[in-house]
Chain A
Amino acid sequence: MSKQVAVAGVGMHPWGKWGRPFVEYGVHAARAALADSGIAWSDVDFVVGGETVRNGYAGYVAGSTFASALGWNGARIATSYAACATGAQALDTARARILAGMSEVALVVGADTTPKGFLAPNAGERWTDPDWLRFRLLGMTNPAYFALYARRRMDLYGATSEDFAQVKVKNARHGLENPYARYRKEVAVADVLGSAIVSDPLHLLDICATSDGAAAVVLTSLDYARRHGLADPVRVEAISTVTPTFPNAVIDMPLLATDHAADGAPERTFKESLALAAYEEAGIGPDDVDVAEVYDLSTALELDWIEDLGLCKRGEAEVLLRAGDTTIGGRIPVNPSGGLACFGEAVPAQALAQVCELTWQLRGQATGRQVDGARGRDGHPRVGITANQGLFGHGSSVLLAR
């Protein structure tokens, strides 16, 4: 039995700081995805929402919230939460129901809005909550975790602050023509190195912001796509949302320590296993990949992901970067959308935004940032992969092909 489903339509709301309710962004993205697919809302039989934890009850029941805002149509609903992997988990839920033959058309939506002003920490003392303890006992912020990984690249592989800045320069250039990107401005190496150091060695411009935004994907069975004249759709080949395997020997946000690796570090890290599970599910390998969208919470983290996805050997991502291989026009372009560097993170939407971008890339519709000269039809990319990691053992990798 085929394990593939069709990406019938994709849509986004531009990322930014718009200060509007998340539902507005989500409906905008959903309607754009439906219009892209040519499928009527009344024909959608399953809606999966990516939960937002910042927007009260409506956010906790995002699937219902979006379905209601689009007008109850009697579809089944579900809501997923998996931190940064929320969108991928929602997509996997939709895919599973389609592959089981229980649904034909699923709409997956993720949207977020960041409340104005500072994110006030929850009141009270929470001495058993690692996310509270890391601030109280260590003053350990998110950028500090990213900085630990960045410093390791420097001390082990000879990465430099200039390398990290070049990732930002590349992604800023990629995002210039992306109508959904929040930051669309060229950045020079000197701008990055001249910005304040937040956590050594990372500068302010090495670290991504948080944004409002929304993304939506319409999935159908291959049979439904055929019957409705969706010729040659982008297909979902794999969605990996595996957990880490004990012992997890890389320190993960927001934890204060790793697992106990009594016999040394295991064969694979969590991030490597995320990609491997996707490759194994699809029966394809890193050599088949033409384009990648990875979670560049920091510039240095993009370099880690390139290796975690098997696109080069451990410690060699800087070589690819310096050779221009990861730039559009290079051998294996990474983050042609501009990545989180140009978007800022909108948690429940971000993994879906990666799928939207790859869908446009595989169709040859990524105007102004199209990867070409690749192995697919008309020189478009044939295979694309996404990757991200979130808190508490969540992460995902999605493989698309056309």
Chain B
Amino acid sequence: MTTSTPAVAGWFTTGDDPRLVASRCTSCGTLAFPPPPPEAASFCRNPACDGDAHEPAELSRVGRVWSYTDAQYQPPPPYVPTTDPFQPFALAAVELPEGLVVLGQVADGYGVADLAVGAEVELVVETLYTDDDGERTIWRWKPVVELGEEADQ
């Protein structure tokens, strides 16, 4: 049986309603993503705040596309290729209601033709690559409404 673990710990939750996990400054509430590593100091990015304590804060699951693109060529290491030959994948920068724009790959099966600036997407968790520990997962952005179907709704 294969195990499935996040490719990076503490950045997102899994399950039926996955979320990105930011850090929230306990002094002023400013959010930061990705959250700092547990062992690292975390200085609040707000220049008006000298806070250095923070807590995890789950972000909204649904956001709007700020922009998008794809990788038509295999990125260099440390990217881990999963297919041979390489299969292009799409990328999106997504504006969340909290006021952060977060990059991510686009969900399997979707490309740039399925995206538009301003379109709604939601967070899903999918397999990024498989290593000795099993499947390693990552957050991805999935179009909420198929383009072309919007007019019917």
- Residues of chain A at the chain B interface (Cβ within 8 Å): 118, 121, 125, 127-128, 132-141, 144, 147-152, 155-156, 196-202, 246-247, 249, 251, 256-264
Contacts and interface: CB of A to CB of B under 8 A. Distances in A.
A257 B33 contact: yes
Given A148-B68, A257-B103, A258-B100, A121 B76 contact: yes
Contacts of A257: 32-34, 100-103
B85 interface: no
Nearest to B73: A198
A199 B34 contact: no
Contacts of B7: 136-137
B102 A256 contact: yes
Nearest to A141: B75
Nearest to A264: B99
A112 B28 CA distance: 44
Nearest to A128: B37
A357 B116 CA distance: 39
Given A127-B37, A135-B79, A246-B47, A258 B71 contact: no
Given A138-B91, A251-B101, A256-B34, 12 more contacts: A121-B77, A139-B71, A139-B79, A139-B89, A140-B103, A148-B93, A199-B70, A246-B46, A251-B93, A257-B33, A260-B30, A261-B100
Interface in B45-87: 45-47, 66-73, 75-80
A258 B98 CA distance: 11
A249 to B, nearest CB: 7
12 contacts: A137-B138, A138-B91, A140-B75, A148-B69, A150-B69, A151-B68, A199-B72, A200-B112, A247-B45, A257-B101, A259-B45, A264-B99
A200 B46 contact: no
A150 B33 CA distance: 24
A155 B103 contact: no
Given A200-B72, A257-B33, A257-B103, A125 B78 contact: yes
A137 B75 contact: no
Given A127-B37, A251-B66, A260-B30, A132 B78 contact: yes
A135 B91 CA distance: 12
B66 A139 contact: no
Contacts of A264: 99
A262 B99 contact: yes
Contact of A127 (B8, B66, B80, B102): B8
B69 A200 contact: yes
Contacts of A137: 7-8, 128, 138
A156 B117 contact: yes
B104 interface: yes
B69 A199 contact: yes
Nearest to A255: B103
Nearest to B7: A137
Contacts of B66: 148, 152, 251
Nearest to A202: B69
A246 to B, nearest CB: 5
Contacts of B89: 139
A199 B100 CA distance: 23
Nearest to A196: B72
B121 interface: no
10 tightest Cβ-Cβ pairs between the two chains A and B: A147-B69, A155-B117, A139-B75, A148-B67, A260-B31, A136-B78, A261-B99, A258-B101, A139-B79, A257-B102
B1 interface: no
Contacts of B22: 260
A317 B66 CA distance: 20
